[in-house]
Chains A and B, each alone.
Chain A
Amino acid sequence: MSGPNEDNNTQLSSHIFGDLLDSIIVDVASECHRIAKLGLDRNLEEEEEEMRLSAQARARVADPSNSSETNTKYVVDIFGQTHPSVATEIFECMNCGRSIAAGRFAPHLEKCMGKGRKARLKVTRSSTAAQNRYSRGSPVSTYSPYSNSTSTNRLSNGTPSVAGEEYSNGTYEEPWNKT
């Protein structure tokens, strides 16, 4: 026999059940929303598209015919930039004051600072104060290349004082000998 309490109870129960169900529905919706936004779902169409694009990119990178076709200098990196194989930034050599390209700087320094024979000519021709300071102040400077070069060009330069010093230090280094 169903009295008013019974009906109340039934109604209440249904109401409570409805509440529970609503909470669970919101949870499920929230979870699905999260999965959708984070791309965690293997959503067929999207994933296929992405897979195809990445496969294409990989093929392009791995393809040997690519590098033989295009100039290897112009290989594209992941940002789509190309770099010339020789660095082209230009700056001033602190030794001789010339404008040098970055990619050519090392060989330039070799010549400029005294590895080679001709370097000594450059140095003696130069008139930078630092150089003169160094050549006077430090007897064992690595680029006091005023050693027995057989080139007669040295004599034609206009800094006799430098040449004079060379004879005063008997212990200057001869870096070119050490190579």
Chain B
Amino acid sequence: MKHSVNRPPTPDGAEDQGNEPILQEIINIKLIESGEKERLMEMLRERLIECGWKDEMKALCRAYVKKKGRNNVTVDDLVHLITPKGRASVPDSVKAELLQRIRSFLTSAAL
């Protein structure tokens, strides 16, 4: 018997979630087309630099590079290194500001 026979079926997602991916795509497109995504990115970047978040991440990277040696480091390594800490260490105020902005965009985009 092939192993794959016993594999659980691929989750299609529940009914009520069926619309979400499509909705998300639509919103994404709207974000990009209106230029709002770019603006949000720049704003987030700026806030994260101001609060020192970027420096913290760079310090983490540098320590990792120092440990592993410059030539043994890949971008992937660094991404995996930073992602959990990065997500957790965004200041609440920054997060709140961005979320607020996004939400107002969503409502104004007539959803």
What is the interface of chain A, defined by CB distance below 8 A to chain B? 5, 9-10, 12-18, 20-26, 28-33, 36-37, 39, 41, 43, 45-46
Question: Across the interface, do B79 and A29 meet the contact criterion of CB distance under 8 Å?
Answer: yes
Identify whether the interface residues of A are mostly helix, strand, loop, or mixed: helix
Contact A21 B90 (CB under 8 A): yes
A-B CB contact pairs (8 Å), 16 listed: A9-B106, A12-B24, A16-B102, A17-B95, A17-B102, A21-B86, A24-B44, A24-B48, A25-B87, A29-B75, A30-B78, A33-B61, A33-B78, A36-B65, A36-B70, A37-B73
B66 touches A28 (CB 8 A): no
Q: Are B57 and A25 in contact (CB under 8 A)?
A: yes
- Is A12's CB under 8 angstroms from B86's CB? no
Contacts of B90 in A (CB 8 A): 21
- 4 shortest interchain CB distances as A-B pairs: A32-B61, A29-B78, A13-B102, A36-B65
Given contacts A17-B99, A21-B44, A36-B61, whether A12 and B106 have CB atoms under 8 Å apart is yes
Q: Write out the residue numbers on chain A whose beta carbons fall within 8 Å of the beta carbon of B98.
A: 17, 20
Q: How many A-B residue pairs have CB under 8 A?
A: 94
Closest to B37 in A: A20
Considering the complex, which residues of chain B in the window 16-31 have a beta carbon less than 8 Å from any beta carbon of chain A? 23-24, 27-28, 31
Which B residue's beta carbon lies closest to that of A44?
A: B66
If A29-B61, A29-B79, A29-B82 touch, whether A9 touches B87 (CB-CB below 8 Å) is: no
Chain B residues near A18 (CB-CB < 8 A): 87
How far apart are the CA atoms of A5 and B107 in the complex, in Å? 10
Residue pair B87, A32 in contact (C-beta under 8 Å): no
B75 touches A30 (CB 8 A): yes
Residues of B with C-beta under 8 A to A14: 99
Beyond the given A17-B95, A20-B37, A22-B83, please list 20 additional residue pairs across the A-B interface where CB-CB is below 8 A: A9-B107, A9-B111, A10-B103, A12-B27, A13-B102, A13-B103, A14-B99, A16-B28, A17-B99, A20-B41, A20-B44, A21-B86, A25-B79, A28-B54, A28-B57, A28-B82, A28-B86, A29-B79, A37-B70, A37-B73
